[in-house]
Chain A
């Protein structure tokens, strides 16, 4: 690809997108207590205290219990900003503790609702319909506790099947949206569900991938059948590196089974933060070319990856080389390289670019256009609650957008919420840059080499 032309196009797209952003009625973290989040981003101890509190909220049984935990965490913050000292004083009396606990639980719940669209798929329908009306498709993700037993795996599979049963007819009843329903490969299903293999089996073992793969296979096969019957799309999420082998083998093996040759539409995830993601892509593309699925080409969702801290800590604690890029620029470069490779690999695969980084998204759109692709041939994904403004800007420009929408109760949502908050307050976070007013030229600059 001609680099100067690509850079020019990226700038063009980026500026268009920036203009289409909803005016400063707020940046993506507006609903959080901005001051608290700002403090948290600057103060490691406070950040840790707040996250530990968010994490334990669902396990607390009373307002007093909540306050006790909150105060316990804040105790460990050395430099308490004035509002926290006030909270600490409040906790000296029983009534004060109850009030503090109730108030803090309410704000955590409020925060959670930004990210979690409903307690179950049916409760989420009004939000999903509103998004569809705004030209934003969705992928629903069912939050849940970790699966440690076979019963829990069965229960999760049943919830997934039930979600498909709810989503497919609900989406069928919505108004047509040609942009969201067809690309040059064929029909794009309206109902779209993301599933996690770690929830489909209690037997994922990093050193024995076949075990989890074989145990999850019957449950995933049933879900594929159900999705096929309902004309829905099933997307299999990627999690930490410990389970990558099992997930990849499972999905590629099942989708190669003759019964799934013509459906359902299905997809996997490629994590650009992994240093060896280019080799993983080789493997996926080899498979896709050897396993034609007419009209239902494999969707590859390119993400940065959401387990960065986990991967770094795990590798360091074992003395292994860190499997993820430790510099943001290196990761961003890889993201762009993988984007280009994926686009060139079409129509063997369909491409979805999931990023909140204005540069990465603009790069993908520009790349597609320069390759002569129609805008419909690249899907742009955002996370509900974090990428809302970007999603609306993309939709305004007539691009094809899908929002990843977690559904579930508060207990189940906490792990998800903590991960998103970590991402949001990380100093190198794009959202953080954007929220703190880094100029557009810098946001759109090519990743440093």
Chain B
């Protein structure tokens, strides 16, 4: 099987009015609510225990989902285990072909899928479209990667023996996915597991069961056998029951640090009946800093910082949360940044003119508002115009907090909302010290035009993804493999060439080819 080299799925050219009109039409045609079953093999159980709503208009129901019970979690794992022998024995090329057909299925429906992500998770159009593209990218990228992996790795060969190293799938993989990239992230983790011959039970975020259903629909439409991919909508308990099952060999998780740490801890204990040491692939939060040196071009830096901090209302794990700016230009930067934030529009995701969409749910809105209040109490605050913030929906004004005391929790906690802290630093090394003092290390950015500063900061930075003179968000499959270091994750890189190694184990076959002094081969 030879394939064209991987290329990223092009995002829609939304500067063209005709393209925008097609998206708006797709949103109008979206039939809601979706019904999302617990879908184990061929068995579907529909129910309405779990309801996802439009964060911008909470009375609009997007999906009615069944909520999986612990028994169903066990049944899903059993189905996955049952399907494992056949799927793992399926030639890699056939598995890759199924993934590519799933990609084609998504491509055909890309506008409808973007519209669903927009409704269910308040992804603005550009982000929603990019999410669909990234899901397609993961399918295409891992399909190719798995084909390469199927060749195994070369070993030293000497006369009289034949040595082979091949990568075999680990078994049943539990995928526990977040809502903020509701198609791309679950598809990425699932596609990596399937491409390498594992079978999967997917537990989508309880805020995004509708998008989770689309992931499974795509894969099944592409020809992945029913038992090899099951859907387990539900809350945290369903995820916990799934992850704890002794027959789960791998847990692929993206989400909060609290849940991730729990998964890691529980997975370490070998349960009675278990046949695998569980492997956990975890992508968790960050406290992402943008360093701005005195020689930065603020004309470039300010729009990039605004996009990093306030795009999708700051709800990307890669979003910028702190700006560490050289004291020589601190005042100018703060004034211009504040002015830029003051003219942001907080509004519905469906409106192309919105800059800051609503947050995912009420509790997120409350959390961010309480941080904003704390910022106002501790330091100086500038924000987008409050009177423009829509009353219904989980909206929050964009906020910049400056002059915070160094002990402030705002400088440590992952706020996951449209709130950005700005701090003055004496020099680049002080900025590097502050970054180094954080226990998390996901993304970071540096604005400087001195190549030596760039090299220096790169050598000191602990983050998983360091961006120079650009935004912290928008990692592309195959171009910026993504994942954090330290407590931000297990150090794996989604969309990178070595990601698939997490889902396999190497196996060595060494055969004696000498028989009565004769080499038989």
| Chain A residues at the B interface, C-beta cutoff of 8 Å | 52, 55-56, 59-61, 65, 68-69, 72-73, 75-76, 145-146, 148-152, 202-203, 205-211, 241-242, 245, 318-320, 415
Asked if B299 contacts A145 (CB within 8 A), the reply is yes
The 9 A-B residue pairs with the shortest CB-CB distance, nearest first, are A149-B339, A319-B10, A146-B299, A206-B15, A207-B14, A208-B353, A208-B352, A56-B449, A72-B451
Interface size bracket, B side:
35 or more
Quote the shortest CB–CB distance from B6 to chain A (angstroms).
12
Quote the shortest CB–CB distance from A322 to chain B (angstroms).
11
A378 to B352, CA, bound (A): 41
Asked if A319 contacts B295 (CB within 8 A), the reply is no
**What would 9 A/B residue contacts be, using CB atoms closer than 8 Å?**
A52-B449, A56-B449, A72-B451, A72-B452, A75-B451, A146-B303, A150-B343, A206-B14, A207-B20
> Which chain A positions have C-beta within 8 A of B296?
59
Residues A415 and B10 in contact in the complex (CB < 8 Å), given A76-B451, A211-B353, A245-B17: no
Quote the shortest CB–CB distance from A25 to chain B (angstroms).
36
Asked if B294 contacts A59 (CB within 8 A), the reply is yes
Within 8 A of A (CB), among B284-343: 294-299, 302-303, 306, 328, 336, 338-340, 342-343
Asked if B352 contacts A207 (CB within 8 A), the reply is yes
B365 within 8 Å of A (CB atoms): no
Asked if A61 contacts B328 (CB within 8 A), the reply is yes
> Which chain A positions have C-beta within 8 A of B47?
none
> Which chain B positions have C-beta within 8 A of A56?
295, 297, 449-450
Asked if A148 contacts B449 (CB within 8 A), the reply is no
Quote the shortest CB–CB distance from B397 to chain A (angstroms).
16
| Consensus secondary structure, chain B interface | loop
> Which chain A positions have C-beta within 8 A of B298?
145
A72 to B451, CA, bound (A): 6
Asked if B450 contacts A72 (CB within 8 A), the reply is yes
| Interchain CB contact (< 8 A) of B340 among A202, A210, A241 | A202
Quote the shortest CB–CB distance from A57 to chain B (angstroms).
10
Q: Which chain A residue lies CB-closest to B301?
A: A148
Quote the shortest CB–CB distance from A432 to chain B (angstroms).
27
| Chain B residues at the A interface, C-beta cutoff of 8 Å | 7-11, 13-15, 17, 20, 125-126, 294-299, 302-303, 306, 328, 336, 338-340, 342-343, 345, 351-353, 449-452
> Which chain A positions have C-beta within 8 A of B11?
318-319
> Which chain A positions have C-beta within 8 A of B125?
207
Residues A73 and B451 in contact in the complex (CB < 8 Å), given A149-B339, A207-B125: yes
Asked if B294 contacts A148 (CB within 8 A), the reply is no
Asked if B303 contacts A148 (CB within 8 A), the reply is yes
Asked if B13 contacts A320 (CB within 8 A), the reply is yes
> Which chain A positions have C-beta within 8 A of B345?
211
Asked if B7 contacts A242 (CB within 8 A), the reply is no
Asked if B339 contacts A151 (CB within 8 A), the reply is yes
A301 to B368, CA, bound (A): 50
Residues A68 and B352 in contact in the complex (CB < 8 Å), given A149-B339, A150-B339, A206-B14: no
Asked if B353 contacts A59 (CB within 8 A), the reply is no
Quote the shortest CB–CB distance from B388 to chain A (angstroms).
13
Quote the shortest CB–CB distance from A150 to chain B (angstroms).
5
Asked if B13 contacts A318 (CB within 8 A), the reply is yes
Quote the shortest CB–CB distance from A244 to chain B (angstroms).
8
Asked if A205 contacts B352 (CB within 8 A), the reply is yes
> Which chain A positions have C-beta within 8 A of B15?
206-207, 209, 241-242, 245
Q: Which chain B residue lies CB-closest to A75?
A: B451
Q: Which chain A residue lies CB-closest to B11?
A: A318
Residues A210 and B342 in contact in the complex (CB < 8 Å), given A52-B449, A145-B299: no
Residues A210 and B295 in contact in the complex (CB < 8 Å), given A202-B340, A318-B11, A320-B10: no
A320 to B12, CA, bound (A): 8
> Which chain B positions have C-beta within 8 A of A245?
15, 17
A202 to B343, CA, bound (A): 8
> Which chain B positions have C-beta within 8 A of A52?
449
> Which chain B positions have C-beta within 8 A of A203?
343
A152 to B342, CA, bound (A): 12
A55 to B297, CA, bound (A): 9
> Which chain A positions have C-beta within 8 A of B328?
61
